[in-house]
Structures are given as structure tokens and as C-alpha cells.
Chains A and B, each alone.
Chain A
Amino acid sequence: MNASTELTSGPRPAESRSGAPAGRRKQTGSQRAGGIALTTLTWVLGLAFFFPVLWMALTGFKSEAEAYSDPPTLFFVPTLEQYRSVFDRGVLPYLLNSVWATLISAILVIVLATPAAYALSIKPVKRTQDVLFFFISTKMLPVAAVIVPLYVAAQQLSLADNIWTLVILYTAMNLPIAVWMMRSFFMEVPKEMLEAARVDGATLPQMLRQVLMPVVLPGVAATALICLIFSWNEFFFAVNLTAARAATVPVFLVGFITSEGLYWAQLSAAATLASLPVILAGWAAQKQLVRGLSMGAVK
């Protein structure tokens, strides 16, 4: 808010023509000062929100004595000791399970969602709206409500503690997001382009490859990334449906609840390691993040 204008909330803009300062375009000294203040405030808030992440990353390189100190240790000699302990604790199988569950389900989601999105946009089926709302309504089903039958079914199909159980559930979990998101990319394909290709006598495969693919491919990548983020961080299914064999990284972190007091540095190293893939992926896909999170509604 700049200092030269009064805070009058009452009149609508059109009515307050008279009180306008003349030279709005030129930056005055007070405006520049205001700008600097706002920039500083933005930076301070940004750093404040980031601070817990930074502190986690730093603590992971401390010794346990340095992590568990009052006042907090700011300067220290970094050590990789904690990361070694995390691997000694056997994080590797958990990491591999996470990688497989995440990757395979992302591929499945794309394979299922891309043709579905096509059938809901380019060549729409009847009752497209209803189908779209059906997909999104499955997102509203509280997962905790169906955990019992899922657990029993997994037991009876010998899929208990099996990575494929997670693959199937993560695919179902991300499918609605992917359908909506992919659809928003298909809707961007200019109709004239499709029409022109058809007039030129392009066959369906030609049309898919030469007209649709180039427009939609970035969408496939963005959708896959969003799926990776959600599956990697998923905890509820993982903790309830897996045990020693198929447990993923979030389940590994549960082991730190009880022994937290003595192992802050190790805990931080493990938490950093667990979060790093998604943080990097999210940073890389920043531009697409909002579209994925809003299921394609916002670009």
C-alpha cells in the first residue's frame, strides 16, 4: 500500500475519480521505500517458511550432541555420519520399494488416463460431465473408510505386504487427477489443427502422432510428475497394508517416533533423504505444479 493515497474502502472506483493523484506512473521516493519494504517482507516470509526445511537439512549433517543442544548449534563441522547410520539401519530396501511403487503406478496412470482424457475431450462420449464428476468424486471417498475391505482383500488374494497392492491403490488414487489434468491439455489442441489434418486426409494414427502428441506430451510429463509426488509421499496405505517386505520410505520414518530423543540428527538425515526426490521434482516442475494440484482447472 503506498503512503500517498488514503485508505477509503467505501466508494466504488468509478465514483472516486476526483481524489486521484496525478503522476501515478512516476515512482516517488516513498514508493521506492515502500517497494524495498515489501521486497524485504516477502524475503523474510519466504525464508521463514523455508526455515524448517533448511534446519532439517542442516541437522542431518550434525553430530547427535550438536543436534540436541540448547542454545541450538549454528556452526559445526559437517559430518556424513548420520547418513551412514541411516543406510546402516537399512533404508535401501524401503527406497527401492518406494521407487518401484511410484514409477510403476505413474506409468499405469498415464496409460489409463491418456486415452480416457482423449475420449472426454477430442472425441467426447455422451455424458462427459457425469464421467468427469464420477472420477473426481472418487477423490472425495475418505480412504480410511475403505481400508478394512482393502486389508481383507489383500490378505485373501495373497497381496498382503506386496508392492503391487500399493501400485494398484496409487494408480486409483492418482487416476482422477490425471484424467482431469490430461483433459485440460487435450482441450488446448486447436480444433482448426485437427480439422485441417482431417481435410488433408490424415489417418487416425497420423493425427495422433503429428497433431496431438506434440501438444500433449508436455502434459504427460507434468501429469506423471504430479503422480510421482503424491505416491512417493503417501503414508496411509503404506503403513496399513505393508510390513517387512513391501514397506516404503514413509514407513521407514515411523521407526523414529519412539527413539526420537536420542536421534535427532539421524532422524533429520533420514527425513532429508526421504523428501529430497520430491523436493527436486517439485522445484523442476514448478510451472506445472499449480495445474496438477487444481486438476487442470487452473493454469
Chain B
Amino acid sequence: MSTVQTAERPTPAPASMTPEMKKAVRRTGWVRRAPLMPALIFAILVTQLPFLLTIFYSLQSWNLVRPGSSEFVGLANYVNVFADSTFRGAALRTILITGGCVLIAMLFGVLLAILLDRPFRGRGVVRTLLITPFLVMPVAGALLWKTTIFDPLFGLLNFVLSPFGVDSVAWVSQYPMAAVITALVWQWTPFMMLLVLAGLQSQGKDVLEASATDGANRWQTFRWVTLPHLRRYIELGLLLGSIYVVNTFDTIYMMTQGGPGTSTTNLPFYLYQRAFLGFDVGQAAALGVVTVIGTIIVATVAMRLIFRSFSREDS
């Protein structure tokens, strides 16, 4: 298990040091920092600079199709963002898609991990089969779900369901949200499964045996020994999964283009529409800033909580 604490804490310079000693300490500080700098500077330049620019653009009225049209408008774009009901809808749908996908994928992931955590013939093969959906290019996966599986006339789903009286359902246009979430759950279940499986396999066999000698049945052992142990793996999976799924763009672009109407438009897709179909730079930038702030607040809190729980158990 990795830790967040440092291996060897650099000692701070005590106040009683001579200037030469202080200089030496500072020099070793820079020697230590040198290997870190290229990566840190690169990360700051490529990720923070565009964000600062986004803030700058968000205060401008600027349309890409009219060059030279940019002018300072203050917070007008932000006023529009909060008055924009499509934005609020997109934010809600982002939460729904992310939450739905991550929770359902986790349920499947826990189930599959438990099934895989016992020796049986072909275990390696089944594991390999199960991780494959995560490796398929998401763009390709979305296209396949949309066509070969969900197609109203020749899709596999209608064929499989036809004995039950289901006929020619146009899944993607009638149930767009469910269709998108299904494709995403399929893609993300392997991710959750791998994390939970790692959790199960890191469990000490002695603890399980002790619980069995104490007379606990399998359900009791699972409920009172395994599940508490798995908790932080589940939390980690939910958090990391959310970070990725919140940004879902490819699946929606390929399956529904945000539609019908705006019924599957999430924030990334809405931002894309505003920037590249509306060419409204200022408005898109303001949307971006609001999105970033919202994401950072939610994610930082969750992140600190979860990684703290990981390092606590180590120490």
C-alpha cells in the first residue's frame, strides 16, 4: 500500500545556524528540488496557464466568427451562466450520469470481484475477458452499443428481447439516458472490479481464518470483516471513477450528440457546443470557470478524505 507521508523528512533549519550553514541548507534544498522542477513547471504551464486565460476570456465578449469583436464586459457572462437553464440542466445531468454510472459499475464490480476471488478453472481467462471492456476505445465502444446492440431494427438487444414481446424499441432515442449510462457502466465496471479485487486479495488470510474459527458464517465474515476492509478501496474507486466519468465526452458525442433535444447533454458536451458550435468564447469560458470551481470544491474535499484514510491505515 502506498503512502502519502514522506520517506525522509528534510529537517528545517534551526534559528541558531550561521549564515553559511543556512546557505548550505538552502543549496541542498535546491539540489533536492531540481529533479522535481521540470515536471512541476511543465504541469503549471500546461494546466494552470490555460485556466488563467479562461478566467480572462470569461470577462470578455468575444465571438470567434467575428474577429476583433472582443471587449471587456465584466461579469456579464457569469450572469448569463446562472440565468441559463440549459446549463443548470446540463449540470444536473452530469451528476446523474456520473453518479449513476459510478454506483452501478461499483455494484457490478464488487459482485464480480467476489466471484473472481476464489480459485476455479479458467480464473485468469475470465479476469482477462472482464477487463476488456475498459480497454476498448470508448469511441468505438459507444458506436457499437449504438448500432449493433441498440439499433431498433437489427440490434441484438431487441432480438434477445423479442421472445418477451419487446419489439422494435429505438433504445437510444426513447431511453437516451439509460442507453448512455449502460454503455458507460459496461466500460467502467472492470475498473471498479480491479480495485475491489486488489482489496480482497490484500486481505490477510489469518484474519479470515480467525473469523471462521470464531464461528462466523460466510455472510458474517463478509459483512463484519471483509466489507470494512474493502471500504477504502470502494471509496477510492468511486472517487477516481467520478473524476474520469465527470469528463465523459466521447460516449455522448458518438451515441446521442447530447440529444434528443438536450436530454443527454452533460457539462463537457454543453461547453463544447457553446465553444465550437456557438463560437461564443466569452460565454464558454465563463461556463468553464463555474464548472471548474464546482468540480474542485467537490473533488478536493473527497480527495483529502480518501487519501487520508489510506495513509492512516499504513502508519
Per DSSP, chain B at the interface is: helix
C-alpha spacing A123/B11, complex, angstroms: 12
Query: Which of chain B's residues 4-51 have a Cβ closer than 8 Å to chain A?
Result: 4-10, 12, 29, 32-36, 38-40, 42-43, 46-48, 50-51
Q: Is the interface on chain A under 10, 10 to 19, 20 to 34, or 35 or more residues?
A: 35 or more
Chain B residues closer than 8 Å to A282, beta-carbon distance = 131-132, 134-135
Chain B residues closer than 8 Å to A275, beta-carbon distance = 135-137, 140-141
Residues 177-218 of chain B, each 1 if its beta carbon lies under 8 Å from chain A, else 0: 000000000100111001101110010000000011011111
Please tell me if A164 contacts chain B, counting CB pairs below 8 Å.
no
Closest beta carbon of chain B to A90's beta carbon, Å: 17
Q: Which of B121, B129, B275 has the most CB of A within 10 A?
A: B129
Please tell me if B81 contacts chain A, counting CB pairs below 8 Å.
no
Whether A152 contacts B281 in the complex (CB less than 8 A), given A271-B137, A286-B128, comes out as yes
Query: Would A125 and B154 count as touching, CB distance under 8 A?
Result: no
C-alpha spacing A272/B253, complex, angstroms: 19
Chain B residues closer than 8 Å to A281, beta-carbon distance = 135
Interface residues, chain A, with chain B CB atoms under 8 Å away: 1-2, 5-9, 11-14, 16-20, 24, 35, 38-39, 41-43, 45-47, 49-50, 52-53, 55-56, 59, 67-72, 112-113, 115-116, 118-126, 128-129, 131-153, 168-169, 171-172, 175-176, 179-180, 183-184, 187, 191, 229, 232-233, 235-236, 239-240, 249-250, 253-254, 256-257, 260, 264, 267-268, 270-272, 274-275, 278-279, 281-283, 286, 289-290, 293-299
List 29 A-B residue pairs with CB atoms under 8 Å apart, sorted by A's residue number: A1-B218, A8-B220, A13-B211, A24-B212, A42-B116, A46-B127, A49-B132, A55-B144, A56-B148, A70-B159, A72-B154, A118-B35, A121-B6, A134-B40, A137-B300, A142-B292, A143-B247, A145-B54, A171-B46, A172-B42, A233-B139, A235-B249, A250-B250, A253-B254, A254-B253, A267-B143, A286-B127, A294-B198, A299-B1
